[in-house]
């Protein structure tokens, strides 16, 4: 009797094309994405529909979307192993997003932290899309019947509402959507700003020295690490109150695979200057292949277009089955 191979669970990750990803995005999640392709049936997308809740300059949005797609491939995502696509190329996202609007309560959406935060950041553009953003995010996940969704702390609330919407819909119409589980990546770590280590590294940091981007040139990366904020103790050890050194040790540990104890031993008796240079060099070498592949891929527009067209076709095939099932259950006439 033939042994049946166990079906892989499906994972889904989407990223907005609002900027080139940072070292924080890379260490927190993206570094582990290529390995997902062996463990899961994987879906990765550029969430360009989500990015227009904030006004975008059209040519800039096109470039950022193309660059983000190139970056996904540069990180090691393989279009033969994964569905890699651009969200707006698959109309089912907008269609299911609208349906789920009608199965989501106003009170649920008004409690979302991101809506409150972004409303403060953009008080002149508090649009309906910003408010109903979680319904589109739920559609992104539920369309692909994703079993797991890798999430950081800031996205946990969005996954919780996606689960609530799925359970509500299933409660009315039967088993239509897979209820997704959060997946916390094993190697993920929280990376803080190099200039204010009490805050998360962010592309919106007003101080450009605080954030390392995946496309930064080696000399730029070295400069940023050499000017990283530390403390006056001059001892490389992980301890409370040493936010700057703790952050550098976290980065160095993830990039080199060394434990905190090994790092402390290697840098015993050495100054912060030596340690900052070592962290910078390790990050330069870690990001070098990604940056070089990105430069090559982003220049090859024909290849990118071929990949995102194939990705959209694959995404459309999977998502349209879910959308048709949901529409049939609701009672729409199907053509």
Closest CA to 152 of 290, 20, 15, 249: 15
Contacts 24+ apart (CB under 8 A), 100-103: 100/135, 100/136, 100/138, 100/139, 100/142, 100/165, 100/169, 101/132, 101/135, 103/165, 103/168, 103/169, 103/172
Specify whether 9 is catalytic. no
Count H helices, E strands: the chain? 14, 5
Conformation bin of residue 254: beta by default, left when phi > 0, alpha when psi is -120 to 50: alpha
Specify whether 118 is catalytic. yes
Catalytic one of 9, 81, 200, 226:
200
CA contacts within 13 A on the Cβ side of 160: 11
| SS3 state of residue 188 | coil
Catalytic one of 8, 116, 203, 270:
203
What residue has token string 């194939």?
310
Q: C-alpha angle with apex 60: 55 to 61, nearest 5 degrees?
A: 60
| Residues designated as active site | 118, 200, 203
């Amino acid at each position: 009797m033939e042994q049946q191979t166990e079906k892989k669970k499906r994972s889904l990750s989407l990223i907005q094309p609002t900027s080139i990803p940072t070292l924080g995005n890379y260490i927190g999640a993206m570094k582990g994405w290529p390995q997902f392709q062996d463990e899961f049936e994987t879906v990765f997308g550029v969430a360009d529909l989500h990015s227009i809740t904030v006004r975008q300059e059209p040519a800039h949005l096109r470039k950022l979307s193309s660059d983000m797609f190139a970056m996904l491939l540069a990180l090691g995502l393989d279009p033969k192993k994964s569905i890699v696509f651009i969200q707006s190329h698959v109309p089912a996202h907008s269609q299911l997003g609208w349906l789920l609007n009608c199965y989501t309560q106003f009170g649920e959406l008004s409690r979302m932290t991101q809506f409150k935060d972004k409303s403060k950041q953009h008080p002149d553009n508090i649009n309906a899309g910003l408010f109903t953003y979680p319904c589109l995010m739920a559609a992104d996940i539920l369309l692909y019947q994703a079993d797991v969704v890798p999430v950081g702390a800031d996205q946990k609330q969005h996954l919780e509402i996606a689960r609530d919407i799925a359970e509500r819909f299933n409660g009315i119409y039967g088993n239509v959507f897979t209820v997704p589980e959060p997946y916390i990546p094993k190697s993920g770590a929280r990376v803080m700003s190099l200039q204010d280590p009490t805050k998360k590294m962010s592309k919106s940091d007003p101080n450009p020295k605080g954030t390392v981007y995946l496309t930064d040139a080696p000399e730029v990366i070295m400069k940023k690490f050499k000017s990283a904020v530390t403390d006056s103790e001059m001892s490389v050890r992980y301890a409370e109150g040493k936010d700057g050194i703790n952050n550098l040790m976290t980065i160095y540990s993830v990039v080199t695979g060394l434990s905190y104890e090994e790092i402390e031993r290697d840098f015993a008796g050495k100054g912060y200057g030596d340690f900052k240079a070592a962290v910078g060099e390790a990050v330069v070498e870690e990001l070098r292949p990604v940056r070089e592949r990105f430069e090559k891929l982003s220049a090859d527009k024909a290849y990118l277009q071929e990949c995102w067209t194939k990705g959209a076709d694959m995404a459309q095939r999977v998502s349209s089955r879910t959308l048709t099932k949901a529409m049939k259950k609701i009672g729409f006439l199907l053509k």
